[in-house]
């Protein structure tokens, strides 16, 4: 068990560019979550998947954001036409429905800076 991994760890992009982040969950976990954390705030829920199905999306997830988990394993989060307000840490977490408390394990995050 290598834990949740995210790639890249840091991304600097210019306003208007598209970016894509990847998350690899713990291998036996069937649920995968995306959160966004801005400076001085706690993480905010964006969306989550159970296997390949996207079950819930937050109103924070504007139409410029799209997430996929095509084979029920890794997930990607794409932001189109980035804005400076998108600068944040994007955290991925995974869990297993066989764990009654749905305990989530977090990855190290991808820090996005939009210039």
Residues near other proteins (CB under 8 A) are: 4, 31, 33, 40-45, 48, 55-56, 58, 91, 93, 100-109, 111
Least Å from the CB of residue 107 to other proteins: 5
The alpha carbon dihedral of 43, 66, 54, 70 has a sign of negative
CB contact at 8 A, 21 and 69: no
Least Å from the CB of residue 109 to other proteins: 5
DSSP label of 57: E
> On the CB side of 55, how many CA atoms lie within 13 Å of its CA?
11
The smaller minimum CB distance to other proteins, of residues 80 and 96, is found at 96
Least Å from the CB of residue 20 to other proteins: 19
The smaller minimum CB distance to other proteins, of residues 26 and 80, is found at 26
The bridge status of strand 10-13 relative to strand 44-50 is unpaired
């Amino acid at each position: 068990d290598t834990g949740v991994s995210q790639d890249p760890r840091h991304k600097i992009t210019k306003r208007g560019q598209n970016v894509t982040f990847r998350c690899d969950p713990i291998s036996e976990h069937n649920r995968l979550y995306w959160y966004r954390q801005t400076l001085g705030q706690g993480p905010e829920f964006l969306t989550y998947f159970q296997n390949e199905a996207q079950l819930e999306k937050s109103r924070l997830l504007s139409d410029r954001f799209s997430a996929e988990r095509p084979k029920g394993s890794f997930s990607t989060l794409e932001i189109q036409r980035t804005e400076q307000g998108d600068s944040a840490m994007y955290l991925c977490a995974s869990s297993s429905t066989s764990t009654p408390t749905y305990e989530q394990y977090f990855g190290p995050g991808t820090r996005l800076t939009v210039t």
